[in-house]
Amino acid sequence: MKSALQSFPPTHTAALERLQSFIPRAGTTYARLRNFDRDGHPHVSGLSPYLRHRILSETDVLAATRPRKSGALDDKFVQEVVWRTYWKGWLELRPSIWSTYRAGLNSALNRVQTETGLRQQWEAACTGGTGIDAFDHWARELCNTGYLHNHARMWFASIWIFTLRLPWELGADFFLRHLLDGDPASNTLSWRWVAGLHTQGKTYLASRDNIAKYTDGRFAPEDLATRAEPLPFRPHPAPRALPSPVVPAADARTLLLVTEEDLSPGWLLRSIPKPAVFATLSTAAHRSPLAVSETVIEWTDSAIQDCLDRHNWPDAARLLSGEDLRNLIKTENIEQVITSHLPTGPAHDHLTSEALGVPLIQMMRPYDRRFWPNATHGFFRFRAVIPEITASLPPL
């Protein structure tokens, strides 16, 4: 089995090559076969690790696939890309959902420490020892490769919640610790959707027949839950407004901070004062209270290094912690830190102006500022704005 760095080389060059090789399959072939979980995952793009870290932007991908549109089925790939945008926007408008998830996770981890049976079940689920062959295969695949087919993620979450009866927060955390594309919004909200916490009364139930069909008979697990009763539902908080744009001070001594949230910061350099200092900081280790996979840490660090190499920033400070950043601000007499917008999640929690002692100015991509305010309701209402926005995308 290939390592994660072999299967998903963490470079911009590899991302572009994968995009170009996928384009011929982005239309009807993708729409017809994308749900099949087959060895090597030949019918999906495999672009999610690159999109999650914006090694490629959504604009890059949509602009590249747009010329091939020839019919309704071709829209499916566009919709899948924009689903990620919808999740990001939905959580950005309701950041308390993330806080509630982290509180629920801490509570579940406390239970793991005091309830022997729960701890044993949780450990078996994480190591592929439940006796459910499909589920155990996916658990091992995730840990070994940092990736799972999207359909397998849904089956896995459903079995975790409704068959194994484990707290959903522990499952979402398991994914965040091991997925190369582990994203606070997409991951948290997808698990909530399966559990019936996103759309009231709507759950996702994994079934033997569906798994058998879409794995070509490789798996046909027995004894799965036959009912998926929604977990207790709480009304969603009202969506907030996005933060207003902030104009950096033109004459302030500036530090440009690159995080794993946006590893294509060229757009940012065109709209800010010339930085005096460049620095990078990975917050991948903060995706969970538990130890994040070494594969995820290594992949993210390598992707950050590729960003520095592409932009010819050999002298950029590679920071290991917020304390390192604070020290650099003091020693370099920095007056403002500018970074790409830090979406709701660990990076946002880890970095604040108050903690740094100087203004932390987060610049939001125009793509996000146009799309995210539309994530006020369900995806189908959100989908209505896709044609207008994508039609105005510049050529690749």
CATH of the domain at 191: 1.10.579.10
End-to-end CA distance of the chain: 34
Q: Show the beta-strand stretches assigned E in the chain.
A: 254-259, 277-281, 317-319, 336-340, 360-363
Same domain assignment for residues 101 and 210: yes
What pLDDT is recorded for position 70?
45
Residue 200 and residue 230 in contact, taking contact as beta carbons nearer than 8 Å: yes
Helix axes 58-65, 12-22, angle to 10 degrees: 30
The number of distinct structural domains making up the chain is 3
Question: 344 and 325 in one domain?
Answer: yes
Considering the domain architecture, whether residues 171 and 186 belong to the same structural domain is answered as yes
Between CA 353 and CA 235 the distance in angstroms is 31
- Same domain (yes/no): 266, 355: yes
Query: Widest CA span of the chain, in angstroms?
Result: 66
Tell whether 283 and 330 lie within a shared domain. Answer: yes
- Whether 70 is covered by a domain: the verdict is yes
Residue holding tokens 């071709």? 74
Considering the domain architecture, whether residues 14 and 72 belong to the same structural domain is answered as: yes
Q: Looking at the structure, do residues 39 and 77 belong to the same domain, yes or no?
A: yes
Assess contact for 87 and 185: CB atoms under 8 A.
yes
The candidate with the shortest Cα–Cα distance to 262, out of 53, 56, 86, 59, is: 53
Say if residue 354 is in the same domain as residue 377: no
110 and 210 fall within a common domain? yes
Residue 158 lies in a domain: yes
Question: How many angstroms separate the CA atoms of 298 and 1, rounded?
Answer: 18
Residue 137 lies in a domain: yes
- Letter string b/e over residues 100-114, b meaning 16 or more CB atoms within 10 A of that residue's CB: bbbebbeebbeebee
Q: 56: domain CATH number?
A: 1.25.40
| Residue 297 identity (one-letter amino acid) | I
Do 189 and 110 share a domain, yes or no? yes
Same domain, 87 and 104: no
- Please, are residues 293 and 255 in contact by the beta-carbon 8 Å criterion? no
Distance CA 209, CA 189 (A): 26
Give the integer Cα–Cα distance in Å for 227 and 294.
36
- Which two three-digit tokens encode residue 177? 């610790």
Give the pLDDT confidence score for residue 393 in this predicted structure.
60
CATH number at residue 291: 3.40.50.620
Q: Please identify every stretch of the chain with a pLDDT value under 70, giving residue numbers as ranges.
A: 1, 66-74, 392-396
**101 is a domain residue:** yes
Residue 201 pLDDT: 87
Is residue 232 included in any domain, yes or no? no
- 17 within domain boundaries: yes
pLDDT for 327? 94
Within a domain: residue 136?
A: yes
Kindly provide the b/e burial profile for residues 231-269, where b requires at least 16 CB atoms within 10 angstroms of the residue's own CB: beeeeeeebeeeeeeeebeeebbbbbbbbbbbbbbebbe
Same domain? For 332 and 378 the reply is: no
* Last residue in a domain, options 160, 194, 214: 214
**Domain housing 273:** 254-364
pTM of the model: 0.94
Q: Is residue 164 part of a domain?
A: yes
